[in-house]
Structure 1
């Protein structure tokens, strides 16, 4: 019988915990943490979960592909957004880019040691340079139409499926197939808390292949050019601009 290699599994589990704690919603991993990080968290509710075949009707959707060019440290990062396999997640991101939400926001979490993991940003609170850095990672996009945080359902499409699975990880849905959009180096995905439907505006770049995240977090695109720029991002660096350069006509609100 082979012995269980605890060292082999410890690091992926540790990194996974880092990402979960970094979830973008103000609903974090415990009631105590919520109260410490966001005094108004009691007014923020996790949205009702859509069924596996009926995503949120009022969510922006991307029907097809789009291209986003993000400028960081005066250098462009080109991202191909995949609305074919992740229409709601991709639509949310393209809509926020088009609204200028990401312009000026900081990357508040960069994990490269003990091995490359993620570069995470997209917390609207980071636009204010005086906002406490220790509290970054708790904010999401506040929709001016509703004055509430816009959250989207977890959306993962298994290989061979016609439609994505919503509001569940593939494991909790009992699906053993790999997702169509996997966490290869250069993947762009949504950060969230422990609650599946808590992604809002925070996203991350995968700095390496991260297969242990597949099926649990929603990938919606890939860096096609400028990964060298991503590799140089430091904590506190800001997104100077993010623009939809192609495919905006595929966005449906």
Structure 2
């Protein structure tokens, strides 16, 4: 759930203009991804996708996302990661299979919502079957209305989007496949500190 951090006013041309309150997820709903350049903080949305968020929390707490590659990164679209089966760059990385795996946990039924896929939104990757999301997720670089209502939204980047922008991009000719990809160094839930 979200909590209000602050409300503030912006001065424009000598006039004070009220700004919307800044909100942040509660620690239990805050995913922190440590990348090579720093931390990306993601507010998870159990109100939209409770089963998906629960599975992400379990995988994070099991250390499953640590050292997992951003195996598919398309400039101007999204960065995909989370293949814990074939994407662990320190234990079992398989460049030919990465992106096809999941975890030992069961696939999840779709939890589609009206939330829009905009810059910073985090969605669950899946196969053609809408009920096939498991561990892989993606972070949007830009809006993609074609995904709206067809993929499960699980959260949104609250800080560190500039670090997401720095993730090594893949080949357009290879549908975003990345040679020598960047990785999630460490994933954690903020409540566990």
TM range (shorter): 0.7 to 0.9
Structure (1/2) with the larger helix percentage: 1
In structure 1, what is the Cα distance between the partners aligned to 2:63 and 2:151? 24
For residue 185 of structure 2, give the secondary structure of its aligned residue in structure 1.
strand
Q: Which runs of 4+ in 1 moved over 2 A?
A: 128-132
Q: Is 1:107 aligned to residue 97 of structure 2?
A: no
Q: 1:85 aligns with which of 3, 26, 48?
A: 48
Q: 1:244 aligns with which of 171, 189, 192?
A: 189
Q: 2:80 aligns with which of 77, 95, 120?
A: 120
In structure 2, what is the Cα distance between the partners aligned to 1:155 and 1:74? 32
Residue of structure 1 equivalent to 2:94: 132
Is contact 1:106–1:238 with CA below 8 Å preserved after alignment? yes
In structure 2, what is the Cα distance between the partners aligned to 1:201 and 1:94? 10
Q: 2:130 aligns with which of 176, 196, 205?
A: 196
In structure 2, what is the Cα distance between the partners aligned to 1:131 and 1:186? 27
Shift in CA distance, 204/195, structure 1 to aligned 2, threshold 3 Å? same
Q: Give aligned pairs, total.
A: 153
Is contact 1:74–1:240 with CA below 8 Å preserved after alignment? no
In structure 2, what is the Cα distance between the partners aligned to 1:131 and 1:245? 27
Residue of structure 1 equivalent to 2:32: 69
Q: 2:167 aligns with which of 214, 233, 243?
A: 233
1:163-182 equivalences in 2 (<5 Å): 179=114, 181-182=115-116
Residue of structure 2 equivalent to 1:184: 118
Is contact 1:65–1:80 with CA below 8 Å preserved after alignment? no
Shift in CA distance, 132/96, structure 1 to aligned 2, threshold 3 Å? closer
Is contact 1:72–1:239 with CA below 8 Å preserved after alignment? yes
Structure 1 residue 198: Cα displacement? 0.7
Structure 1 residue 65: Cα displacement? 6.3
Structure 1 residue 90: Cα displacement? 1.4
Q: TM-score, normalised by structure 2?
A: 0.75
In structure 2, what is the Cα distance between the partners aligned to 1:231 and 1:121? 14
Structure 1 residue 134: Cα displacement? 2.6
For residue 155 of structure 1, give the secondary structure of its aligned residue in structure 2.
coil
Deviations along 1:107-147, whole A, 9 cap, x unmatched? Answer: 100111xxx0110011121115564313211100014xxxx
In structure 1, what is the Cα distance between the partners aligned to 2:182 and 2:143? 23
Is contact 1:65–1:82 with CA below 8 Å preserved after alignment? no
Structure 2 residue runs of 5 or longer lacking an equivalent are 1-26, 169-177
Q: TM-score, normalised by structure 1?
A: 0.57
